[in-house]
């Protein structure tokens, strides 16, 4: 029994020795592995740092590039502008004192006829042709045969004056009235301003003479002064018609003589007056009631010129002031007139009538239209 006990004790001792060896070997192995593990961990951490740094670099680079691209999109290319030469209006020497301001007018020269009143009676307006246009918004307020062809008679001279005003550069430039000019008025039985052949006068007085007393010799003189001859001036008038886009008008003379190919409509005539209102000189000349021309040897005290329509209507219509007008008469178109006034609210009204039985009837028809429609 003692022998078996001893053997067991020896065996246990051997097992303990083996366990100690094994543990010693384990500790030795662990000591050898710890540096390797540490190195591995450091390597892994280094790799992670490198990867993170790389990712951040890529992200930052992308962020930098993206704004640059956005900036390229947001900032448009500046186009190369080739400046065209500025065409300046001719400077006018010795300009008239402009006392009539240019009113606010609608753009273009095509009035809106929709909704126009066509019910005005002959008791109110006796002229065969009549129209009233709100020239601030372009709407036709009332019309009777406003789009029908008619002869404009001396209303033609609104276009004559407009073309002349657009080409005169010195209003005090002197020009001789010739026998050709006075004969033109005499042969065609036209009204005259009163200038005589051989009289030299400033061109502004010729302009006033064409509008205010409707002087035929002045129209012919303007043709020569502006264009050199009648045909060229008439072409300039029709070129202006085309420029304004008017399709119902054609001129064959500057004074308003009757002719089959000399015609207009009241719509077109109203737009010609609108264009004249837009020209400072023309607007002022159409406004004047009286004008005394420059003294000459033939007329030492000058000629006293009157716009009879303006003088006659001023005490017949007092609601507002008539700002400008031109009358006309030939047998075929009766008494005609085109005028404009401005309402208290700034609205511009252009009135045109044709084929009244007398000059006074034309005035009364304008009064009737203004009284009824002007605000």
Query: pLDDT tens digit string along 38-67?
Result: 777 787 887 787 777 777 766 565 554 444
Strands 174-176 and 304-306: unpaired
Is 82 a residue whose pLDDT tops 70?
no
For residue 96, being part of any structural domain is answered with: no
> What is the rounded (10 degree) CA torsion for 287, 292, 297, 301?
170
What's the pLDDT score for residue 184? Answer: 95
For 85-99, 129-143, 184-198, which range has the lowest pLDDT when averaged over its residues? Answer: 85-99
Q: What is the DSSP string of 39-74?
A: HHHHHHHHHHHHHHHHHHHHHHHHHHHHHHHHHHHH
Model confidence at 9, pLDDT cuts 50, 70, 90, reads: low
Is 84 a residue whose pLDDT tops 50?
no
Which residue would you say has higher pLDDT here, 90 or 218?
218
How many domains, in total, are found in the chain? Answer: 2
What's the pLDDT score for residue 69? Answer: 46
CA 104 to chain centre: 11
- Domain of 199 in residue numbering reads as 129-373
Is 75 a residue whose pLDDT tops 70?
no
CATH of residue 314? 3.40.710.10
The pLDDT mean for the chain works out to: 88
What's the pLDDT score for residue 83? Answer: 45
Q: Cα(352)–Cα(152) distance, rounded to whole angstroms? A: 10
Tell me the residue length of the chain: 375
Task: Answer yes or no: do 36 and 171 share one domain.
Answer: no
Is 363 a residue whose pLDDT tops 60?
yes
For residue 4, being part of any structural domain is answered with: yes
Question: Is the C-alpha dihedral spanning 112, 341, 285, 300 positive or negative?
Answer: positive
Q: Cα(342)–Cα(349) distance, rounded to whole angstroms? A: 6
Task: Answer yes or no: do 324 and 185 share one domain.
Answer: yes
Q: How far is CA 232 from CA 229, 251, 282, in A?
A: 6, 12, 21
What's the pLDDT score for residue 58? Answer: 67
Q: Token pair of 319, please? A: 């609601």
Treating both helix axes as pointing N-terminal to C-terminal, what angle do 280-287 and 203-211 enclose, rounded to 10 degrees? 60
């Amino acid at each position: 029994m003692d022998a078996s006990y001893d053997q067991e004790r020896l065996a246990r001792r051997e097992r303990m020795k083996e366990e100690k060896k094994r543990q010693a070997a384990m500790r030795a192995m662990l000591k050898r592995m710890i540096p390797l593990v540490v190195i591995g961990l450091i390597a892994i951490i280094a790799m992670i740092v490198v990867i993170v740094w790389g990712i951040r670099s890529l992200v930052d680079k992308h962020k930098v590039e993206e704004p640059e691209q956005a900036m390229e999109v947001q900032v448009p290319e500046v186009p190369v502008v080739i400046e065209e030469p500025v065409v300046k209006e001719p400077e006018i020497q010795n300009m008239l004192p402009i006392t009539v301001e240019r009113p606010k007018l609608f753009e273009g020269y095509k009035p809106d006829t929709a909704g126009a009143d066509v019910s005005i009676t002959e008791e109110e307006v006796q002229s065969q042709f009549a129209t009233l246009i709100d020239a601030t918004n372009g709407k036709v307020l009332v019309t009777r045969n406003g789009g029908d062809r008619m002869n404009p008679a001396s209303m033609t001279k609104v276009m004559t004056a407009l073309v002349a005003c657009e080409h005169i550069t010195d209003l005090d430039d002197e020009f001789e009235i010739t026998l050709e000019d006075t004969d033109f008025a005499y042969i065609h039985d036209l009204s005259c301003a009163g200038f005589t052949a051989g009289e030299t006068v400033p061109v502004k007085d010729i302009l006033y003479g064409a509008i205010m007393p409707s002087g035929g010799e002045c129209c012919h003189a303007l043709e020569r002064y502006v264009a050199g001859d009648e045909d060229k001036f008439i072409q300039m008038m029709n070129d202006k018609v085309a420029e304004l886009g008017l399709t119902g008008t054609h001129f064959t003379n500057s004074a308003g003589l009757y002719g089959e190919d000399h015609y207009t409509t009241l719509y077109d005539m109203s737009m010609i007056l609108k264009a004249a209102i837009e020209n400072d000189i023309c607007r002022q000349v159409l406004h004047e009631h009286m004008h005394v021309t420059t003294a000459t040897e033939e007329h030492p005290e000058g000629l006293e010129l009157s716009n009879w329509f303006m003088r006659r209507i001023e005490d017949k219509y007092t609601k507002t002031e008539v700002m400008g007008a031109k009358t006309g008469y030939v047998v075929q178109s009766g008494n005609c007139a085109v005028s404009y006034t401005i309402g208290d609210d700034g609205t511009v009204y252009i009135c045109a009538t044709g084929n009244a039985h007398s000059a006074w009837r034309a005035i009364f028809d304008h009064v009737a239209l203004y009284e009824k429609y002007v605000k």
